[in-house]
Amino acid sequence: MPSRNEVKYIQSLYHKKNRNKEEVFIAEGVKIVAELINAGFGIQKIYGVKDWIDANTNILHAAVVSDDELEKISSLETPNKVLAIFYKKNSVRIPDLKNKISLVLDGIQDPGNLGTIVRIADWFGVKNIIASEDTVDLYNSKVIQSTMGSIARVAIFYTDLKSFFETNKIPVFGAMLNGENIASLQKINECLLIIGNESKGIRADIEQYIQQCITIPGTGDAESLNAAVATGIILSWLKLKP
């Protein structure tokens, strides 16, 4: 049974400043927790219902909680057996992005969008995402849940995009409404694909670094596509084109 101080501490971690201070984050649910354990994330504490604990007797730092106790510390409407506090894996140095397709996120704000983009990147084998400093925090609990465990396989690097592009030597593509039809592109094995803010798109001071604007042609009347949906469609063309 978590003490009153433990409950208060766990609830504090739903706020970015406290996660940053403690260098930890919360993940919930059987699948996501298992993915992060298998990926080697350090465990601070795990709270699981009895049947989860009984099935995972090899896990250290685990405590049994009742369904009601789990509900008190969970951010989910329907908690799924286990909540874990993991230590962050802070990625400081951007790796070599040559001969790869990587994503660049310019001001993505919705946690669900970021989590879904991470999951889409994982599906298409994109290992690295470069994010503007004002992109939503990767360790936001809603982001973590939306990744469905893909956070274990995709690295995100937060940086000043203008400084990043000033030293970049890799072709830069930008997802724009007035770009070239993605269906007309040749096979691409190396690029940085910029996805802009959900409502404002790619900022003007970042547009200057785009070498080729691309777009997804539509036949209906919608004004635009959701950022995560657009990412999935574009990556399917870039990664799967014969």
- Of the pLDDT bands very low, low, confident and very high (cuts 50, 70, 90), residue 239 is confident
Domain edge (last residue) among 87, 109, 127: 87
Q: Write down the pLDDT at residue 107.
A: 97
Q: Write down the pLDDT at residue 7.
A: 94
Q: Write down the pLDDT at residue 219.
A: 83
pTM over 0.75: yes
Residue 46 included in any domain = yes
Whether residue 186 sits in one domain with residue 132: yes
In the predicted structure, residue 92 carries a pLDDT above the cut 90: no
Question: What are 150-177's pLDDT values in tens digits?
Answer: 999 999 999 999 999 999 999 999 999 8
- Concatenated DSSP letters of the chain: ---HHHHHHHHHTTSHHHHHHHTEEEEESHHHHHHHHHTTPPEEEEEE-HHHHHH-TT-SSEEE--HHHHHHH-SSSS--SEEEEEE-----S----TTSEEEEEES---HHHHHHHHHHHHHTT--EEEEETTSPPTTSHHHHHHHTTGGGT-EEEEE-HHHHHHT--S-EEEEEEEEEEGGGPPP-SSEEEEEEBTTTBS-HHHHTT-SEEEE---SS--S---HHHHHHHHHHHHHH--
Question: What are 16-55's pLDDT values in tens digits?
Answer: 999 999 999 999 999 999 999 999 999 999 999 999 999 9
Whether residue 194 sits in one domain with residue 233: yes
Residue 56 included in any domain = yes
The parent domain of residue 196 ranges over: 101-240
- Of the pLDDT bands very low, low, confident and very high (cuts 50, 70, 90), residue 8 is very high
- Of the pLDDT bands very low, low, confident and very high (cuts 50, 70, 90), residue 242 is confident
Whether residue 122 sits in one domain with residue 70: no
Q: What percent of the chain has pLDDT over 70?
A: 100
Whether residue 234 sits in one domain with residue 117: yes
pLDDT mean over 222-233 = 92
